[in-house]
Structure 1
Amino acid sequence: MDMGKLVAIPAGRRSKWAVIGAWLILAFFAVSLAGKMGDVQRDSPVDFLPASAESTRVIELEDELPGTATTTVLVVYERGSGITDADRAAAGKHHEAVTRAYPEDAGGQGGDEEGEERPEGSDGPPLMESADGKALLFPVDVDLTKTEEAEAVVDIRDLVADAPAGLTVKVTGPAALNADLDEVFDGIDSKLLLATVGVVALLLILTYRSPTLWLVPLIAVSSGAVLAMATVYLLANDFGLTVSTQSGSIMTVLIFGAGTDYALLLVSRYREELRRYADPHDAMAAALRGSGPAILASAGTVVGGLLCLLAADLNSNRGLGPVGAVGILASLLAMLTLFPAILTALGRKVFWPFVPEVGALGSETRGIWSRVGQFVSRRTVAAGGGVLLLLGVLSLGLIGISPNLAEEDSFTSKPDSVAGFQLLGEHYPEQAGQPLTVMTRADRVDEVLEAARETPGIARAEAARAGTEWASVEAFPRDRAQTAGERATIERLRDRLHRVEGADALVGGASAEKMDEANTTADDRVVVIPLVLIVVGLILGVLLRSVVAPLLLMGTVLLTYLAALGTTNVVFKAFGVDEVDPNLPLTTFVFLVALGVDYSIFLAHRVREEAKRVGTRLGLLSALSATGGVIASAGVVLAATFGVLAAMPSVPMVQIGFSVAFGVLLATFVVQPVLVAAAMTLLDHRTWWPDRSFTAGAGQPLPGTPDGTGVPYPAVPAPDGPPRGGSEVDSVPKG
């Protein structure tokens, strides 16, 4: 089926109603499945880590051990002026209450050490007072076979809430940190969806200045979101696709950002065609013929880039690829079928109060983009060099970047567990580290314990659970969790234990998992980044039928990526966050390359079309002026939707949102209209090598511009209709 027949379906007089009806039926069945997507989202370490990671194997073996699985909760008290007798009495009552609530769990090892006393009536360990006399501490071991981890943390916090004035009480430890993470992400999908819809609605209202038109793309893109969520649920439920809260949130942003961009580009062309055709059906068919192929190529670039993540070893990265690709494809389907069908059904009055009339030329101004083009044409080297200098300065922010964001630093506001860890670091440095879990053959426990205790950086090690074949050991680092010192200790511990003959020892635990995640992500960058460059470059090469142009566009996108990542590092350091999430460099790269090239497709394809007529230099001026406004609007929408992530309570999401939004704005308003334009001006016809059909020089002066220096061409004859203006996006030639 050719393009003409395909576009006739959503633009047809009868078939448009069939399209709308099909989407209503699809939505009826998809809504219930879309609501279940949260049920298949998994955020446990084993769902993120690769199967090859040492810490992943530890989790699997630990789950097979017999006996009671426990998690430790720590209750810490602090008074800056020193602990008082009333504080000790209150802590003793708290300890007794917790012991009653968890009679088999509280108490750990039990024994009385010299100089320590148990609270009266307690069977658990004594309160531990810090050496500086300003803090108290007691641990609680929670039986996970009887109590959910998060429920136990909430319960213990309630039991210790009543404290003397001026006494700080925090419930912390690995269990509390996990509980706080769960609370942060609880309901985040609905909050993000509402925020994204609100931002997109506002931008559409400001863009269209119509009381009704903004609703149409919002309805269509929301339908695409429902379809995407239902599809992701089925893929996760039936085929084991890894879906995390983060990948689900990013998919929502992608759907609304990309879908709204497609709407802006299609509406721009449709408005233009309504000035040529009296019948909206004919106008929509022409608009789909003109902009549809370029939108398809744009979506194909994003999908191709995202699917490159399937080559990643980290489960969360590998899962993000198909999740994001499903979102883009669902959005594309909605915006090329449902959206044009609704627009056609509503007719030209949907544009009220700015209804396009047949025969009228476009009224949109091209002043700013025309002036930008003329400036670049006159000051080519200075303009291009200035942008290169700016990108270089921004890229200097990469110096000292550390992709090792600790779990306790992953919150935008400090929860109790994080504050508690800080108190531990100040008053109980030997307790500040999270325990490492060591799995060993059961008959080699003693040797492993001895090797662990002799490892520099390990404060103590003790046997935990044992089975017939495997046993677990807990090793406590001296350094704070997920610091450089602790990472060095983990490396030393693994090295020593791997040399214990016959033990097959493996080191895991929360800190080891984060270290393995960071190492795997670093390896993924080496594999995925070149693959994305190759795939996107090939797509551009096919679309532009050139070798030089794709290399030019990919080079500018790479520079934009480095500048955006460097700026993100500097900005977050200014706000006290010294490290970035391990996934940030790779995720930002994939999105900025795949999405950034989107706008280059529309500009470069228009330049190529005009270069055939008037030469590359004048063709560039014409294309920049004609496409600049709509592309800028699309860039603002995409940046704003990613910017919604900056309002989330998760630092990794905020970093991704800021980095991509800044990169998109930088590409849209600086790199593309200035640096790309300057490079194409200097390269001239060589931009399209090896195609030799383009002539050197500026070509013929444009109609209405005797000096040939600047304003895009006015109305020109269209191949299948009356004259049209050049003020709107004309992405590809007809046919």
Structure 2
Amino acid sequence: MASHPHSEKQARPNTPGHRPSRWLTTFVPILIVVAWFVAAGIGGPYFGKVDEVSSNDQTSYLPASAESTQVQKRLGGFTDSDTVPAVVVVTRADGTVLDKGLLARAGSALEQAVGQIPGEASASPLVASQDGKAAEAFLEIPQGDDIGAAVDALRSQLRNDLSGELTVHVTGPAGFTADLLEAFSGIDGILLIAALGAVLVILVLVYRSVLLPALVLVTSVFALCVALLSVWWLAKAGVLLLTGQTQGILFILVIGAATDYSLLYTARYREELARTASRWRATTVALRQSLEPIAAAAGTVIAGLLCLLASDLNSNSSLGPVAAIGIVFAFLAALTLLPSLLLIAGPAAFWPRHLDAPQGSSAGLYGRVGQLVARRARPIWIGVVIVLVAAAACATQFRASGVPQSALVLGSSDARAGQQVLSEHFEGGDGSPAFIITPAATMVEVGTIVREHPGVAAVTVTAAEAPTGSAKLTAQGVESAIPGSPAPEPTISDGSVLIQATLDQPADSAAAEQTVRQLRTALGSKALVGGVTATDIDTNDAAIHDRNLIIPLILVVVTLILMALLRSIVAAVLLLSTTVLSFFATMGVSALVFNHVLHFPGSDPTVPLYGFVFLVALGVDYNIFLMSRVREESGQSGTREGILAGLASTGAVITSAGIVLAATFAALAILPILFLAQLAFIVAFGVLLDTIVVRTLLVPALSYELAGVLWWPSHHGRGLGGGARRTDASAPGGPALSARRAS
């Protein structure tokens, strides 16, 4: 039962010794808070400016050596402007044939709409399909930051002008880009509101305090503001590539990590404040006790993220430093801003709750869990391992070979609907051809190889003199579209020509990818093959390469950090093994949910990589929080009693931290993007699994079983009753240990 606050204060004697100066205890905390307030005030407005330095162009993600990247860089030599293609497709609402009057009306509306697009936008005439039920036109929209706005304006005006009988869709690369940008549009507002709201509710339930949740939330928000300020300027200078998904992950990671670190510090500060009336002493002791585990946890996440620098994909390699910068500021805020705020507030931060003294390892829920572990350690860890292995076996069903571009956006997508209409009435690859660059001398030979492939519907060569900008390429060479007219000369850049191959399947389909792979094989060194389909292929191939390279690299790095922190090989291997098993169990459950519940079409190859980075790095965090406390307690009372004391003292705070992190990552599912929705489920479920099951049951039970060799090769905890297995269930964490810790 909680004692009266007055009696508690009397029970907490002041520690004798030198009293620190008022300048140190008052003005330094205030200066720290003011410095963070100023920095956050500068960084806050940058939330509305992220679009100025971010990019969602998939070709910018690829390395310079990728074939599709090389083609993209050379396209400017064959066209007058840097544009993104779009396809406008028109049908009758009732699905019947379009008559000449409706075609003329649609053509006139299209001409007016294109004329209002800023820049040098252009459109081809509307061409009816063979069945007469649809018409298409090809547009070239100037590439830039406002491509999404240009497509949205085009859609809006066409629908207003052609409402009633006609249905209009804007698809192609520009249409899909606009849909993706719209899906990311809620990242600055709704995502942050959802994440912060979830964290606030959890903090109120955890602390049952008026002021403390606000202080922790301020710490997280200020850390994010300063991190975004740093990242923005680095992206502005071209040092980092900032994308929509990187931005979303940065927001969530900083909020979650800063809150987690704040929870751990607050727990130690509350313990010390319950023992002493001196705020300064409580602060210095809590900082000293929290610094090593929080620094190790942050260092593990940073090291794991920086392993992404080895990635071939620029989007992956840039995520590493961007997220690492976020973790740095989360760490700094949790150990400078929050301690200063709590030092200023003192016990009032916890009002109306009382500051009860620590109750020992047998008290509370996690004390009772510890007693269960002490009695049944072997059955517990064997049972948990069996369940996790069974779940991990389903990880083989996780499909991560890539998804069509049309599946990236969840929910409604005008570009996807337009692509379906195109596939019904035209060649599937209209508007997104394969670009093939070859020397002019081999133009006919390469054109013949391409044209004879069964997956290619039409072959043209770029010719500036042709009315449509391209001319038909046959076995005899270039042909004029107008009978009897001379054939236009193909455009030559650096001795090469640009051949465009329209595929008979949608550009983002598996069949189209197979066609492009076969064309690359057939052409060999004669040509470079790029375009939308080739970019998807190169992106998936690079992502698979990254996954196979970076996951083992992260394992090595994290293992070395754990060995250095715990000064033990056995404990480090135990923690990492349980975390990896938890990851594969999570992937198995995710495979079942994605395939049979949510019916997702598959996953991007980077999803398992990102899931591994976050779950291993963050999962090890919780094990670090637990085992660093276990090591501390083991030095006083032996390994087995230290395990139970460490579990009892960290159980509640680590579980709270895990719930916070799971809630923040779950907020990513608000954005209608397949990649983020899958990542949200994987990390949220994995963190809860690791926090509630692995860290609460599996790690303590295994550690208890291996107590005699847990700290090998060091002799830590030996000679204090930690080596021999206790048979008395009431012995671990009994009154003697509680009295020793209280003293």
Residue from 393, 399, 404 that aligns with 2:390:
393
Instruction: Pick from 526, 532, 551 the counterpart of residue 548 of structure 2.
Output: 526
Report deviation, 1:261: 0.8
Match of 1:90 in 2: 102
Residue 673 (structure 1) shift:
1.7
Provide the TM-score with structure 1 as the length reference.
0.87
After superposition, where does 1:111-150 map in structure 2 within 5 Å? 124-130=125-131, 135-142=133-140, 144=142, 149-150=147-148
1:28–1:672 distance in 2 versus 1, CA, 3 Å? closer
Confirm or deny: 8 A CA contact 2:611 2:682 kept in the other structure. yes
Counterpart-to-counterpart distance in 1, 2:130 and 2:101: 13
1:615-694 alignment runs, 5 A limit? 615-694=638-717
SS at match of 1:267: helix
The CA deviation string for residues 509-553 of structure 1, in whole angstroms up to 9 with x for no partner, is 112111111110111112211111111111100111011111111
Tell me, what secondary structure is at the counterpart of 2:189?
A: helix
Question: Residue in 2 aligned with 1:478?
Answer: 504
Change (3 A) 1:350 1:576: same
Q: Which amino acid aligns with 1:389?
A: I
- Pairing 1:180-191 to 2, within 5 Å after superposition: 180-191=179-190
| Secondary structure at the counterpart of residue 505 of structure 2 | coil
Q: 2:408 corresponds to which residue?
A: 410
Quick one: percent identity of the two aligned structures?
38
Q: CA deviation at 1:706?
A: 7.7
Code of the residue aligned with 1:254 in structure 2: it is L
Residue 645 (structure 1) shift = 0.4
Q: Is the 8 A contact 1:684 1:696 kept in 2?
A: no
Distance 1:659 1:147, change over 3 A: closer
Q: Secondary structure at the match of 2:611?
A: helix
8 Å contact 2:407–2:601 — kept in the other structure?
A: no
2:437 matched to 1:439?
A: yes
Question: Do residues 62 (structure 1) and 61 (structure 2) align?
Answer: no
| Partners of 2:73 and 2:103 in 1: CA distance | 37
Aligned-pair distance for 1:64? 3.5
- 1:482 Cα deviation from its structure 2 partner: 2.6
Contact preservation (8 Å) 1:614, 1:702:
no
Q: Give the deviation of 1:430 after TM superposition.
A: 3.9
Match of 1:381 in 2: 378
Select the residue among 549, 564, 570 that pairs with 1:542.
Answer: 564
Find the counterpart in structure 1 of residue 201 from structure 2. Answer: 202
SS in 1 for 2:574: helix
Match of 2:598 among 568, 575, 598: 575
Quote how far apart the aligned CAs of 1:376 are.
Answer: 3.2
Shift of residue 613 of structure 1?
Answer: 4.1
- Cα deviation for residue 354 of structure 1 reads 1.0
The 8 Å contact of residues 246 and 653 in structure 1, kept in 2 or not, is answered as: yes
Shift of 1:345: 0.9
Tell me the amino acid that sits aligned with residue 679 of structure 1. Answer: L
Q: Render the CA deviation track for 1:659-710: whole Å, top value 9, x for unaligned.
A: 111110000011122222222222222122112354499649999x884256
- 3-state SS of the aligned residue for 1:347? helix
2:418 corresponds to which residue? 420
Change (3 A) 1:436 1:717: same
- Whole-angstrom CA distance in 2 between matches of 1:390 and 1:11: 53
Distance in 1 separating the partners of 2:582 and 2:450: 47
Q: Which residue in the other structure is 2:472 paired with?
A: none
Please give the alpha-carbon distance, in whole angstroms, between the structure 2 residues aligned to 1:185 and 1:34.
13
Return 538-547 or 463-472, whichever deviates more.
463-472
Deviations 1:227-265 (A, max 9, x none): 101111222223521111111111111111011111111
1:356 CA drift (Å): 1.9
Stretch of structure 1 that moved more, 596-605 or 367-376: 367-376
1:215 to partner: Cα distance = 1.0
Q: Secondary structure at the match of 2:96?
A: coil
For 1:492, the equivalent position in structure 2 comes to: 518
3-state DSSP of counterpart to 1:14 = helix
Between the aligned partners of 2:224 and 2:143, the Cα distance in structure 1 is 38
Say whether the 8 Å CA contact 2:462–2:498 is kept in structure 1. yes
User: Which SS does the other structure have where 2:707 is aligned?
Assistant: helix
- Provide the rounded CA distance (Å) in 2 between the counterparts of 1:430 and 1:664: 42
Counterparts of 1:253-268 in structure 2 under 5 Å? 253-268=252-267
**1:74 touches 1:137 (CA, 8 Å); kept in 2?**
no
Q: Structure 2 counterpart of 1:98, which letter?
A: L
Counterpart position of 2:86:
73
1: distance between equivalents of 2:45 and 2:165?
Answer: 50
Q: Report the alpha carbon displacement of residue 598 of structure 1 after superposing the two structures with TM.
A: 0.4
CA distances 1:625-670 after superposition (whole Å, capped 9, x unpaired): 2211111001000111111101112111111111111110000011
- Taking structure 1 as reference, are residues 440 and 225 closer, same or farther at Cα in structure 2, changes over 3 Å only? same
Q: 1:31-50 counterparts in 2 under 5 A?
A: 31=44, 36-50=49-63
Residue of structure 2 in register with 1:728 after alignment: none
Asked if the contact 2:575/2:620 (under 8 Å) is kept, the reply is yes
Hey, what's the Cα distance between the residues in 2 that align with 1:646 and 1:393?
27
Structure 1 residues 225, 107: CA separation in 2 closer, same or farther (over 3 Å shift)? closer
Equivalent residue for 2:9? none
Kept in 1, the 8 Å contact 2:393–2:588? The answer is yes
1:576, CA displacement in angstroms? 2.2
In structure 2, what is the equivalent of residue 113 of structure 1?
A: none
CA drift of 1:80 comes to 8.9
After superposition, the Cα gap between the structure-2 partners of 1:713 and 1:584, relative to the gap in structure 1 and judged at 3 Å, is farther
Q: Tell me how far apart the structure 1 counterparts of residues 717 and 219 of structure 2 sit (CA, whole Å).
A: 41
Secondary structure, counterpart of 2:454 in structure 1: coil
Task: Pick the aligned partner of 2:581 from 555, 559, 569.
Answer: 559
Secondary structure, aligned partner of 1:473: strand
Q: Runs of 5+ in structure 2 lacking a partner?
A: 1-16, 464-490
Deviates more, 1:517-526 or 1:38-47: 38-47
- Cα distance change on mapping 1:20 and 1:710 into 2, 3 Å: closer
Q: Secondary structure at the match of 2:275?
A: coil
Read off the aligned partner of 2:27 and give its amino acid letter. R
One-letter amino acid of the structure 1 residue matched with residue 259 of structure 2: T
Report the alpha carbon displacement of residue 568 of structure 1 after superposing the two structures with TM. Answer: 2.1
Greater mean alpha carbon deviation, residues 214-223 or residues 439-448: 439-448
Provide, for residues 374-423 of structure 1, a one-character-per-residue CA deviation record: whole Å limited to 9, x for no partner: 33333333322222222223223323433202221111212111112123
Q: Provide the C-alpha distance between the structure 2 equivalents of 1:263 and 1:362, rounded to a whole number of angstroms.
A: 22
1:65 maps to a residue whose letter is F
Q: Which amino acid aligns with 2:353?
A: F
Q: Are the equivalent residues in 1 in contact too, given 2:607–2:678 (CA < 8 A)?
A: yes
Name the structure 1 match of 2:337. 338
* 2:482 corresponding residue in structure 1: none
Residue type matched to 2:522 in 1?
R
Q: CA RMSD in A?
A: 3.1
Q: 1:581 & 1:272 partners in 2: Cα distance?
A: 45
Equivalent residue of 1:170, what SS? strand
8 Å contact from structure 1 (residues 92, 127) kept in 2: no
**In 2 relative to 1, CA 226–167 (structure 1 residues): closer, same or farther, beyond 3 Å?**
same
| Whole-angstrom distance in 2 between the partners of 1:284 and 1:68 | 62
Residue 105 of structure 1 contacts residue 140 of structure 1 at CA under 8 Å; is this kept in 2? no
**SS of the residue 2:601 aligns to:** coil
Q: Is the 8 A contact 1:312 1:318 kept in 2?
A: yes
Q: Distance in 1 between matches of 2:387 and 2:274?
A: 42
Q: In the aligned structure 1, how far is the partner of 2:368 from the partner of 2:444?
A: 78
Residues 236, 242 of structure 1: 8 Å contact kept = yes
Secondary structure, counterpart of 2:448 in structure 1: helix
Distance 1:452 1:669, change over 3 A: same
Residues in 2 aligned to 1:713 and 1:330: alpha-carbon distance in whole angstroms: 41
- Is contact 1:442-1:467 (8 Å) kept? yes
Provide the residue aligned with 1:119 in structure 2.
none
Bigger drift between 399-408 and 691-700 goes to 691-700
Q: By how many angstroms is 1:590 displaced?
A: 0.7
